[in-house]
């Protein structure tokens, strides 16, 4: 794990990082990939040209009429079923109601399934492979976006939708160029080549784009797309809610990297629910309908950090976005939109694991947390072991309201010093140690800081949802969307017929 400036690598606090950081692309590698992909001018011309008339899906000699005008695909990234449960229990205790997601389970017409997520090269997937399974309906290697192991570039679902006359959108709490949103519009041999992925985002004509990632969607890149209106704070975004029919495309960039965790977010950063509401109103003005992905991406990041309070906060924020979508659908009465809600994979398998009043008291403590682990590490980054030892306990108390003791401090600083503090080596990290000692106060524990091979919940409502089987694989959902929309046969973008060569993979951090 990367470290901040300090005297020795084994004795300083890790700088808070994305578990899947973006990496710079060499000019040679970038030129090679652009030549064999649709990132160039041909893709740009296709992306911003006029949309063709809506079509029907052709299967053999039979023409299948479209069932859905719109598709809304919602992703709680890295959501183990335990995370869904925690958010529901938390809402019941603190909001006196069940979660919007679990409330759907008892509604007439809602279909549910338990779906596998393995990638082409692993039983445990990452977000790019799992997202690409939805995006193109194929098994993809971890770390790759919509390119199958044979080097064939596969057309993503938003590009297919655009070719059939649909408007398109991505809304996320991560960078708009991050793996999950990218899986619906981009092709890349590496998920961390986010500069070229940003060129796909704008060049392929996505209509509504909201999240973080300003460091990749640069002013230079924006200068080539005069039809894009950019907003950069909550006030500017909410000012557009009453102007849904404005001309041109909309890009909301609310952070240089990912948007802050809700526990840390300033008033200037909109919630996922607010981004969702604005995006839906804008996309719904398109006569031929739309396809959009909505991602609660920082659920995954909180899981990686074993940060129970941030995890629940992010999952509740995603649940609020579900509420916005259900309001848009008039609580299921609107019959022209297929809604799919799922996760790309589990992460860390958290659970409330104490009995009696201790469980309720733990959730009360979670409700009083003011900041995330990211906030804590930001304030300790760069300190050596002695500095961390002096400042850790008061900083944790400021963030969580919990006083840790000397034994807790010894566990955490032991992890920083590289000592074996847990039987499972994957738990010998700063954030896992901090999550572990706080589990004694919250009653919420984690199995690791990694993705898991769990099957995931799929919940669907609306035209086409009858195709959701009780069990399946994430690749099946691409076909469900395609058939429900009645998409025309896809046309590969210029350059896509060339096979892509995969670069050497980087060593894990």
Angstrom CA distances, 279 to 6, 254, 332, stand at: 44, 15, 19
* Lowest mean pLDDT segment, chosen from 193-197, 245-249, 327-331: 245-249
DSSP conformational letter for 14:
B
Q: Is 160 helix (H, G, I), strand (E, B) or coil?
A: helix
| Alpha helix positions (H), 52-126 | 81-94, 100-103
b/e 131-162 (16+ beta carbons within 10 angstroms → b)? bbbbbbbbbbbbbbbbbbeeebbbbbbbbbbb
Residue 40 confidence (pLDDT) above 50: no
Residue 52 confidence (pLDDT) above 90: no
Kindly give, in sequence order, each residue whose CB lies less than 8 Å from that of residue 467, ignoring residues fewer than 6 positions away: 479, 480, 483, 484
User: By percentage, how much of the chain surpasses pLDDT 70?
Assistant: 86
Q: Phi and psi of 230, rounded to 5°?
A: -110, 130
Task: Give the total residue count for the chain.
Answer: 509
CB 228 within 8 A of CB 251: yes
Residue 45 confidence (pLDDT) above 70: no
| ∠ Cα 148 345 174 (to 5°) | 85
Residue 2 confidence (pLDDT) above 50: no
User: Comparing C-alpha atoms, which of 475, 450, 452, 482 is closest to residue 113?
Assistant: 475
Q: Is 268 a known active-site residue?
A: no
pLDDT of the residue at 46: 45
User: Comparing C-alpha atoms, which of 248, 241, 194 is closest to residue 221?
Assistant: 194
Structural domains for the chain: 43-350+452-485 (3.40.720.10), 370-445 (no CATH)
Beta strands in 277-336 (DSSP E): 290-296
pLDDT of the residue at 384: 84
Q: Does the predicted model carry a pTM greater than 0.85? A: yes
CA–CA separation, 168 vs 157, rounded Å? 10
* Tokens linked to 236: 């500017």
User: Comparing C-alpha atoms, which of 238, 243, 78, 70 is closest to residue 169?
Assistant: 70
Which contacts (CB < 8 Å, 24+ apart) does range 88-97 have? 89/352, 89/363, 90/312, 90/316, 90/363, 90/366, 90/367, 91/316, 91/319, 93/360, 93/363, 93/364, 94/363, 94/367
pLDDT digits (tens, 9 = 90+) for 201-252: 999 999 999 999 999 999 999 999 999 999 999 999 999 988 887 789 999 9
pLDDT digits (tens, 9 = 90+) for 58-111: 333 334 467 899 999 999 999 999 999 999 999 999 999 999 999 999 999 999
What mean pLDDT is predicted for residues 174-181?
98
pLDDT digits (tens, 9 = 90+) for 375-416: 999 999 988 888 898 999 999 999 999 999 999 999 999 998
Q: Which helix (H) or strand (E) holds 195?
A: helix 194-203
DSSP conformational letter for 336:
S
pLDDT digits (tens, 9 = 90+) for 419-456: 998 889 888 999 999 999 999 999 999 999 999 999 99
**503 pLDDT tier (thresholds 50, 70, 90):** confident
Mean pLDDT of the chain, nearest integer: 89
DSSP conformational letter for 504:
P
pLDDT digits (tens, 9 = 90+) for 109-164: 999 999 999 999 999 999 999 999 999 999 999 999 999 999 999 999 999 999 99
Which of 80, 119, 127, 467 is an active site residue?
A: 127
pLDDT digits (tens, 9 = 90+) for 288-313: 999 999 999 999 999 999 999 999 99
CB 424 within 8 A of CB 29: no
Angstrom CA distances, 315 to 89, 132, 216, 263, 320, stand at: 12, 22, 26, 12, 9
What mean pLDDT is predicted for residues 456-469?
97
CA–CA separation, 378 vs 13, rounded Å? 9
**504 pLDDT tier (thresholds 50, 70, 90):** confident
CA–CA separation, 412 vs 394, rounded Å? 14
pLDDT of the residue at 21: 66
pLDDT of the residue at 488: 87
What mean pLDDT is predicted for residues 322-332?
94
The position carrying tokens 């959501």 is 79
How many beta carbons lie within 10 A of that of residue 484, not counting itself?
Answer: 26
CA–CA separation, 489 vs 471, rounded Å? 27
């Amino acid at each position: 794990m990367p470290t901040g400036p300090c005297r020795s690598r084994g004795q300083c606090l890790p700088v808070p990082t994305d578990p899947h950081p973006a990496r710079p692309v060499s000019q040679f590698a970038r030129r090679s990939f652009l030549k064999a992909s649709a990132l160039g001018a041909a893709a740009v011309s296709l992306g911003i040209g006029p949309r063709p008339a809506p079509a029907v899906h052709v299967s053999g000699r039979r023409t299948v009429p479209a069932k859905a005008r719109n598709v809304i695909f919602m992703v709680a990234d890295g959501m183990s079923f335990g995370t869904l449960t925690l958010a529901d229990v938390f809402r019941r205790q603190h909001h006196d109601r069940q979660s919007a997601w679990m409330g759907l389970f008892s509604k007439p017409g809602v279909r549910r399934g338990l779906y596998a997520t393995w990638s082409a090269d692993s039983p445990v997937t990452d977000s790019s492979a799992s997202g690409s399974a939805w995006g193109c309906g194929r098994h993809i290697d971890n770390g790759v976006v919509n390119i199958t192991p044979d080097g064939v570039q596969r057309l993503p679902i938003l590009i297919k939708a655009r070719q059939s006359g649909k408007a398109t959108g991505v809304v996320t709490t991560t960078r708009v160029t991050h793996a999950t949103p990218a899986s619906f519009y981009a092709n890349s041999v590496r998920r961390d080549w986010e500069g070229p992925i940003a060129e796909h985002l704008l060049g392929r004509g996505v209509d509504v784009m909201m999240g973080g990632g300003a460091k990749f969607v640069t002013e230079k890149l924006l200068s080539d797309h005069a039809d894009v209106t950019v907003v950069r704070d909550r006030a500017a975004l909410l000012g557009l809610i009453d102007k849904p029919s404005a001309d041109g495309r909309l890009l909301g960039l609310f952070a240089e990297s990912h948007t802050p965790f809700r526990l840390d977010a300033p008033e200037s950063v909109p919630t996922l629910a607010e981004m969702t509401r604005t995006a839906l109103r804008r996309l719904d003005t398109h006569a031929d309908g739309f396809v959009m992905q909505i991602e609660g991406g920082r659920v995954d990041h909180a899981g990686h950090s074993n940060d129970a309070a941030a995890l629940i906060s992010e999952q509740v924020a995603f649940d609020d976005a579900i509420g916005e979508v259900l309001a848009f659908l008039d609580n299921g009465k609107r019959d022209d939109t297929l809604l799919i809600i799922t996760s790309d994979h589990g992460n860390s398998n958290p659970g409330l694991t104490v009995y009696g009043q201790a469980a309720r008291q733990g959730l009360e403590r979670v409700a009083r947390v003011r900041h995330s682990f990211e906030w804590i590490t930001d304030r300790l980054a760069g300190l050596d072991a002695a500095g961390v030892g002096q400042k850790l306990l008061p900083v944790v108390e400021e963030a969580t309201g919990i006083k840790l003791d000397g034994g807790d401090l010894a566990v955490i600083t032991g992890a920083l010093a590289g000592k074996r503090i847990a039987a499972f080596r994957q738990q010998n990290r700063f954030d896992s140690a901090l999550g572990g000692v706080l589990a004694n106060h919250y009653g919420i524990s984690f199995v690791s800081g990694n993705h898991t091979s769990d099957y995931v919940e799929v919940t669907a409502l609306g035209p086409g949802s009858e195709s959701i089987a009780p069990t399946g694989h994430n690749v099946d959902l691409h076909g469900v969307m395609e058939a429900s929309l009645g998409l025309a046969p896809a046309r590969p973008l210029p350059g896509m017929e060339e096979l892509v060569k995969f670069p050497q993979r980087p060593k894990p951090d």
